[in-house]
Amino acid sequence: MTSYISTQSISSSMRQSILRMQSELAASQTEIATGNYADIGLTLGSRTGDSVSLQAENSLLQTITNTNQTVTSRLDTTQTILSGLRTSAQTLLNSLIEGTGSNTNASSIQASGQSDLHGLISGLNSTLSGDFIFAGTNTIGTMYQNSYAEHITDNPKDSRDRERQALEHAIGLLQKAEAAGPRSLESVEALGFVGKLWNAFIQDLVDPESDLPDVLRADLLSVGLWIIKEAALIRSGQSKNFRGVIEICSMIRDGLK
Amino acid sequence: MSLSSATNIARSGLNTVTAESSVLSRNISGASDTAIYSRKIANVITMPGGGSQVASITRATNLAVFGNMLSATAANATQQALSSGLDTLNQTIGNVSSSSSSSASNSNSPASNFTNALQSYQASPGNLTLASAAVSAAATLTQGLNSAAATVNQVREQADSGIATSVQTINSLLAQFQTVNTQIVNGTATGSDVTDAQDSRDNILTQLAQQIGITATTAATGNMSIYTDGGVTLFQGGAARSVTFTPTNSYTAATTGNAVYVDGVPITGASATMPTVSGTIAGLATLRDNVAVTYQAQLDGIAGGLIKTFAESDQAGPGPNLPGLFTAPAVTLPIINPTGLAGQITVNPNADPNQGGNALLLRDGGISGNSNYTYNASGDASYTTRLTQLLTGLTATQTFSANGSITTSANLGNYASASVSWLEAQRSNASSQSTYQSTLLNTATTALSNATGVNINDEMSKMLDIERSYSATAKLISTIDTMFGTLLADYGNIPA
């Protein structure tokens, strides 16, 4: 008994296999082109969630890498500024230790100290991408004001001290000149110094920003003018009144104590 | 035996041969019929006293194989309906591939983009551009959830209207069935040839099986009864039972669809005592009532988790938690019933620059509008505590409703990927079932065709037989005619 095949089953089975192979061909072509499964969800099924989680982790790690670069640049800038501050502070300290003693070194040390302080403040106010680095969490407002730099004015006590020292020096030179006579080298040196000193005093006195009361200023001005005139007379040989100049300078010096 | 009886026998033989050849020609013409066509067989019997007669015309049948084919048709239709619905739901997930061109800011997942934007913003909390980018990534995420929820509702509506169409088809098919069945019963009673009607009745059964799984039994009178695969009567005693369904036109997350009633018994839905398991109706009902509802619950869980994570607490006192960056109309914390949240979740307009809000509130808190809920009391531009809190919250474990049929305790990212896994597993399963069932259907159809179909070559060789017996019978008749002629010629020569 042979099995019976109907004509229709012969033709339909061929058609079915052709249709199936064509759809598999289309899927394979897609897979070659993209390098992934043609329908990833269908193929992976319940493991699709793993794929999604891994991709999310991957992109999050990329983001963290990028933000870490921002943080790294902030920390690098911070470190650079701090080591610069340390270097300038060390330099200032070194120069202070070396320079105890003479006056000229003191003023130059003061000038370099002032500029170092300016440098400290501008360093602490430095920004990166609009944020102030040394500001903690309040990164919008300027952190450190220049209030210290602006308010380094001269201490009045120190300036009177300097004037007194200058007058002391002038008196010493004049005493030596008095001993040596009006045509000596000491006399030339003393009179030159006295002239420069009192010219400086007069310029200070005529400065409208001077803090001294007007009466005192007027008196000191007339004193100064007399001293300069007298010094010129002594230098030209028409006077020998060292003693007078010495006494006036001593009185002014004592008044500055 | 006489010559006249020989003539009669020859005449009956001719009749038989002509009847057989007409059956043959019917077979050959129906060989490539796409509908069911069974091979007709002329049953030739020998009459008492000689001669042959076509007693009846029957068709080749195989009831077992036919029953197999019906159930395979129904199962295949179920998986087809499920697969197409799941493919539509799959659009909400989008492209899960990782292309080599995707970078940290351009990945395919809105949730991943939002987390990355928030992470970038945390590194520079004073940067308004990064804050706006984070808020717009949040807006994209909520739009994604909203459209996913809309797609789920759409799938349910389509399933519902598919069920309505299917029920209409069933009713019209049952009406046709009734007509043909009556024809067959009458024809069987009078003994006429009902084979063509039986073929068309089988065709109607096949079409019916696509809509709903059925089993059929035939009585001796030719009357057929149809039952659903759950056991409910569809057609009995020559009359069809009523199949009714009330469609629902629009679906929200909380809508429940109606059941299909056959003869007053519900056959779909949770209240069905005799449920249908195969056929388009069963597939669409599973899609509408189980698959889509579960997926909706998962989406709502994600939305609820987002709102909870970004909620703000009262910094000053014991006030309730209020929604922060993510909010929904009329939502209160703690969230009791998250149904429908996925379709309603939005970005709070107080934080959205496109709606006149301030994106920097993401850093400061107080998005809910109440200044007691501001975290950044000192107003510092680089306040990171709140942002770090939010990022930690995204990775903290939360509890989710069990309606989602996946894990109930996970962090937000793992829950979302578990949801993706679940949908793809359903889809993969439906697809492989669909392939399996369609292979089964092909096998059953081929087996049925082989058992009852027509092989043209076989019929052609039968035709040769018929032709030979026709020429033999014709030869017999002409011989008898010659013999009669000889006899009569001799009679004519008898002298009077």
Residue B142's pLDDT band (boundaries 50, 70, 90)?
Answer: very high
Joined together, the tokens standing for residue B484 give 């009669």
The whole model's pTM is what?
Answer: 0.78
The neighbouring-strand residues paired with B322 are B312
The pLDDT value recorded for residue B105 is 44
Taking an 8 Å cut-off on Cβ atoms, the answer to whether B109 and A52 are in contact is yes
Residue A117's pLDDT band (boundaries 50, 70, 90)?
Answer: confident
* SS3 category, B360: coil
pLDDT greater than 50 at residue B274: yes
Inter-chain contacts counted by CB atoms under 8 A, chains A and B: 169
Between A101 and B74, whose confidence is greater?
Answer: B74
Q: How far is CA B174 from the centre of its chain?
A: 20
C-alpha angle B69/B284/B402, rounded to 5°?
A: 125
Instruction: B434-440: list long-range contacts, CB under 8 Å, 24+ apart.
Output: B434/B76, B434/B79, B434/B80, B434/B82, B434/B83, B437/B72, B437/B75, B437/B76, B437/B78, B437/B79, B438/B76, B438/B79, B440/B72, B440/B75, B440/B76
The neighbouring-strand residues paired with B409 are B399
- The per-residue pLDDT for range B145-180, each reduced to its tens digit, is 999 999 999 999 999 999 999 999 999 999 999 999
Between B434 and A183, whose confidence is greater?
Answer: B434
Joined together, the tokens standing for residue B163 give 């069920």
Name which of B247, B277, B290 is nearest B77 in CA terms: B277
C-alpha angle B273/B279/B280, rounded to 5°?
A: 110
Backbone angles phi, psi at B41, to 5 degrees: -125, 125
Q: ipTM value of the model?
A: 0.80
Q: Minimal Cα distance from A38: which residue of B? A: B97
Single-letter amino acid code for the residue at B58:
T
pLDDT greater than 60 at residue B300: yes
The pLDDT value recorded for residue B262 is 92
The pLDDT value recorded for residue A101 is 58
Q: Minimal Cα distance from A55: which residue of B? A: B98
Tokens 């059956």 belong to residue: B23
* SS3 category, A62: helix
Joined together, the tokens standing for residue B190 give 């009078």
The pLDDT value recorded for residue B106 is 47
Q: How far is CA B139 from the centre of its chain?
A: 36
Residue A51's pLDDT band (boundaries 50, 70, 90)?
Answer: confident
CB atoms within 10 A of CB A179: 11
The neighbouring-strand residues paired with B262 are B243, B265
The neighbouring-strand residues paired with A132 are A127
The pLDDT value recorded for residue B103 is 45
Which residues of A, range 47-106, sit inside 8 Å of B by Cβ?
47-53, 55-56, 58-60, 62-64, 66-67, 70-71
Residues of chain B with Cβ-Cβ distance to A62 below 8 Å are 103-104, 116
Partner B contacted by A33 (CB < 8 A): no
Partner B contacted by A43 (CB < 8 A): yes
What is the residue-averaged pLDDT of chain B?
A: 89
The pLDDT value recorded for residue B284 is 96
Joined together, the tokens standing for residue B356 give 């006149």
CB atoms within 10 A of CB B86: 24
Between A145 and B246, whose confidence is greater?
Answer: B246
Name which of B42, B53, B47, B41 is nearest B14 in CA terms: B53
- The per-residue pLDDT for range A196-234, each reduced to its tens digit, is 888 888 888 888 777 788 888 888 889 989 988 988 888
- The per-residue pLDDT for range B451-474, each reduced to its tens digit, is 888 999 989 999 999 999 999 999
Whether residue B334 is preceded by a cis peptide bond, meaning omega within 30 degrees of 0, is yes
Instruction: A63-69: list long-range contacts, CB under 8 Å, 24+ apart.
Output: A63/B104, A63/B105, A63/B116, A63/B119, A63/B120, A64/B119, A66/B104, A66/B120, A67/B119, A67/B120, A67/B122, A67/B123, A67/B124
Report the 3 state secondary structure along B134-181: HHHHHHHHHHHHHHHHHHHHHHHHHHHHHHHHHHHHHHHHHHHHHHHH
Taking an 8 Å cut-off on Cβ atoms, the answer to whether B418 and A138 are in contact is no
pLDDT (mean) for A187-195: 88
Tokens 């994600």 belong to residue: B302
Taking an 8 Å cut-off on Cβ atoms, the answer to whether A55 and B98 are in contact is yes
Helix (H) or strand (E) holding B262: strand B261-262
